[in-house]
Structure 1
Amino acid sequence: MNTTEVFLIALTIIYSLPYLIWRIGRTDYFAPLVVVQIVTGILLGPGILGSAFPDCYAFVFNKQVIQALNGIAWWSVMLFVWVAGIELDLRQAWQHRLESTITAGLALGVPLGFGCIAGLGMLMFEGWMGAKAMPWQFVLGIGMSCAVTALPILILLMEKLEVLRQPIGQRILRYASMDDIAIWAVLALILLDWERVGRQGAFLLGFAISAYGIRKLMAWLPERDRWYVGIIALAATGFAADWAGLHFMVGAFLAGAILDGCWFNQTQMDLLRHHLLLTVMPVYFISAGLKTNWAMGGTAVLVVAGLLLFVSVFGKLLGTHLAGKILKWKRGEASLIGWLLQTKALIMIIFANVLLDKEIITSETFTALLLMAVLSTMMTVPVVSPKLARMKSIIFRSK
């Protein structure tokens, strides 16, 4: 078979297998389709399919096919992160800045601190830190991975729970939006390269100047043209960020964050996010699974994944409970918010992918982080649903 035919076989597997597991297994309550796609990526990776059926794995996921899949994966995740940047609405956070700052700061800072402690512990053993990492980069990367909240997936889960448009949902979006800014700022700090600091400075200066011009242009353009101009700016900013050593994903987020969501039709934005998850993001999830590695032994990877999951959940819940004490929330409110902010899949996987690409973490560490992200996200709906049923009055609290 030629490369095109094998590529189409790979796509057939990528789209059909997770869908069948999700639909026949009726996993939606604890594992939405996006989570099933990530898990399927792990199953199709070299550590499981490649180990059990090496010849099949080598045939379907050969070098040429993986290169083609990576191209789709890069562009799809850039578009998804761009949409996430556009959907950031910091004006609401500013209107409730004291409450939002306290909650977002503790919800991010406490698991970040615990995650950094876990990262320091991992440094005591070989095989977890990447070849090009400095210890502080590795520790901070692990810490932030434990603190991340996946804003796009959080939106999907809150839609499923029917609280997205309710006051509690809008509050949680404010907290997650502020944390989202911090996540990308920390990633930029981790990727700071003193050998290319001149390039990075030039990129940031050039971006600040171009952002002013793009905002003026977008405000003047009709909506139909804003989509085209926005996507052109996305590709250009992604290239410039990668050239500067900050990774194209940082550029994708910045390209979206400088745009106002009100410039775009919200229904079309929701449809774009939906269609990305339907048509191209499964390729990204599978490509993430193909990077998993169990070379250190499944037990070691599972132990580290379990440790990071505990640190992440405990840290997030402790942070929101501290915020609840300060802000005098009702009983149970902090736990509800903490579990929703615990949602990690996608953004944490993107974050960990960047760390892996830059050799700050090893593929074994990436595998552990991927498992932690999947498990934490799978826990969200089963834990939150009964809490919401018991605490109806909290849904309508605006602060």
Structure 2
Amino acid sequence: MNTSEAFLIAIFIIFTLPYLLWRVCRTDYFAPLVVVQIICGIFLGPGILGAAYPSFYNVVFSMPVIQSLNGIAWWAVMIFVWIAGIELDLKAAWLNRFESGITASFALGMPLILGSIVACGLLSYPGWVGNKGQDWQFVVGVGMACAVTALPILILLLEKLNILRHPFGQRILRYASLDDIAIWIILAVILMDWHRVWSQVIFLIGYGIAAFGVRKLMRWLPPNDRWYVGLIWLALCGFISDWVGLHFMVGAFLSGVILDTDWYDQEKMDLLRHHVLLVVMPVFFLSTGLKTNWQVGSVTVFVVAGILLLASITGKLIGVYIAGKILKWRPGEASIIGWLLQTKALIMIIFTNVLLDKHIITNESFTALLLMAVASTMLTTPVVYPKLNRMKSSPIDKMR
């Protein structure tokens, strides 16, 4: 079988298997299609398919095929992160900065602390810290992975719960937006290469100057041209960011965050996100699954994933509960907000992919974090939906 044939078989499997499971098993209530695609990526990885059918796995997922899939996956996830950066509503967060700042700080800080404590425990055992990762990078990286909120997936869940356009849903998005900014800033700090620090500082200074020029250019361009120029800007930021020792995902986020949402038609942006998720992101989910590993023992990986999940959910709920007490929220609001903000999925997977690419974590750590991300996302709707229904007596649009 030649490379093109193996590639097309891989593409056929990538799109067929998740869709059939999603439709036949009707998983949408607890696992949207993107979550099913992530799970299928794990099953198609070396830990399961590769172990069960090594000859088939080695033929279909040969090195040339994997390299081709990785190229598609890189561009797909860069576009996805670019969109996430554009859709951060910094103006709304600034107008409500006191409430948003308190909530986002506690919602991020508590799971970060608990996740870091778990990571400190893992330092005592071999097989978890990457060969190029320092202890502090591993601890902060795992802690931040526990604190991440998946903003794009949160938007999909809020839409499914019919609260996306309500004031309550917009509040939750503001909190998640601030946390999203903090996540990428901390990732940039983790990735700082002190041997190349000056080139990275020069990049950030140059980025600030270039961003000013890009913003002026975007205001001048006709609306249709902004899409094309935005993608050129994305590729440039991604390349230079990777070249100076930061990851291209940091550049992808930086390229989007300086662009204003109202420069782009919202319906077209929603369509672009939908098409990226439909056409190319499944390839990223498979390439993610190909990085899973169980060499330290499947039971151990699942135990660590469970501990990380507990730290993530507990920390998020405690943090949001404290914020709710300070801000005098109505009964039940903190629980709903906490569960929605603990949604991980895509952004955490992207975050941990960066840590893995930089060898700060091992494949085993990545697998445990990936399992934690999938579980946290699958729990969200079944837990939040009944809580939301119990609050029907108090209309959502009257919530602060």
For residues 376-387 of structure 1, the aligned pairs below 5 Å read 376-387=376-387
Partner residue of 1:230?
Answer: 230
Partner residue of 1:396?
Answer: 397
Q: Residues 88-127 of structure 1: CA distance to partner in whole angstroms, max 9, x if unpaired? A: 0111111111100000000000100111111101101111
Question: Partner of 2:345: helix, strand, or coil?
Answer: coil
1:68 and 2:72 are equivalent in the alignment: no
Partner residue of 2:139?
Answer: 139
Distance 1:330 1:213 in 2: 45
1:162 and 2:162 are equivalent in the alignment: yes
Distance 2:124 2:282 in 1: 36
Q: Residues 213-250 of structure 1: CA distance to partner in whole angstroms, max 9, x if unpaired? A: 00000011110100010000000000000001110000
Partner residue of 1:296?
Answer: 296
Partner residue of 2:2?
Answer: 2
Q: Which amino acid aligns with 1:198?
A: W
Partner residue of 2:185?
Answer: 185
Aligned residues of 1:145 and 1:369 also touching (Cα < 8 A)? yes
Aligned residues of 1:49 and 1:57 also touching (Cα < 8 A)? yes
Q: Which amino acid aligns with 1:300?
A: T
Gap regions ≥5 residues in structure 1: none
Distance 1:168 1:104 in 2: 15
Partner residue of 1:262?
Answer: 262
Aligned residues of 1:128 and 1:361 also touching (Cα < 8 A)? yes
Distance 1:142 1:364 in 2: 13
Q: Which amino acid aligns with 1:381?
A: T
Q: Which amino acid aligns with 1:296?
A: V
Q: Which amino acid aligns with 2:319?
A: G
Distance 2:205 2:173 in 1: 30
Distance 1:94 1:205 in 2: 24
Partner residue of 1:323?
Answer: 323
Question: Partner of 1:346: helix, strand, or coil?
Answer: helix
- Could you tell me the TM-score, scaled by structure 2's length? 0.99
What percentage of aligned pairs have identical amino acids? Answer: 68
Q: Which amino acid aligns with 1:396?
A: D
Q: Residues 251-305 of structure 1: CA distance to partner in whole angstroms, max 9, x if unpaired? A: 0000000000000000000000000000000000110000000001001100000
1:86 Cα deviation after fit: 0.2
Partner residue of 1:366?
Answer: 366
Partner residue of 1:312?
Answer: 312
Partner residue of 1:205?
Answer: 205
| Displacement over 6 Å in runs of 4+ | none
Partner residue of 2:129?
Answer: 129
Aligned residues of 1:168 and 1:394 also touching (Cα < 8 A)? no
1:17 and 2:43 are equivalent in the alignment: no
Give the direction of change, closer, same or farther, for the CA distance of 1:84–1:376 in structure 2 (3 Å limit): same
Partner residue of 1:30?
Answer: 30
Aligned residues of 1:333 and 1:394 also touching (Cα < 8 A)? no
Distance 2:195 2:218 in 1: 35
Distance 2:398 2:4 in 1: 54
Mean Cα displacement is larger for which, 4-13 or 386-395? 386-395
Distance 1:365 1:44 in 2: 18
Distance 1:151 1:201 in 2: 28
Partner residue of 1:78?
Answer: 78
Question: Partner of 1:149: helix, strand, or coil?
Answer: coil
Q: Residues 5-60 of structure 1: CA distance to partner in whole angstroms, max 9, x if unpaired? A: 11000000000000000000000000000000000000000000000110011011
Question: Partner of 2:77: helix, strand, or coil?
Answer: helix
Distance 2:349 2:221 in 1: 35
Q: Which amino acid aligns with 2:47?
A: G
Aligned residues of 1:146 and 1:309 also touching (Cα < 8 A)? yes
Give the direction of change, closer, same or farther, for the CA distance of 1:255–1:52 in structure 2 (3 Å limit): same
Give the direction of change, closer, same or farther, for the CA distance of 1:318–1:394 in structure 2 (3 Å limit): farther
Question: Partner of 1:71: helix, strand, or coil?
Answer: helix
Distance 2:78 2:377 in 1: 22
1:285 and 2:282 are equivalent in the alignment: no
Q: Which amino acid aligns with 1:258?
A: I
Q: Which amino acid aligns with 2:153?
A: I
Distance 2:153 2:116 in 1: 24
- Could you tell me the TM-score, scaled by structure 1's length? 0.99
1:397 Cα deviation after fit: 3.8
Aligned residues of 1:132 and 1:360 also touching (Cα < 8 A)? yes
For residues 208-219 of structure 1, the aligned pairs below 5 Å read 208-219=208-219
Partner residue of 1:108?
Answer: 108
Query: How many pairs were matched up?
Result: 399
Distance 1:148 1:394 in 2: 29
Q: Which amino acid aligns with 2:187?
A: L
Aligned residues of 1:238 and 1:250 also touching (Cα < 8 A)? yes
Give the direction of change, closer, same or farther, for the CA distance of 1:394–1:117 in structure 2 (3 Å limit): farther
RMSD: 0.7
Aligned residues of 1:171 and 1:398 also touching (Cα < 8 A)? no
Gap regions ≥5 residues in structure 2: none
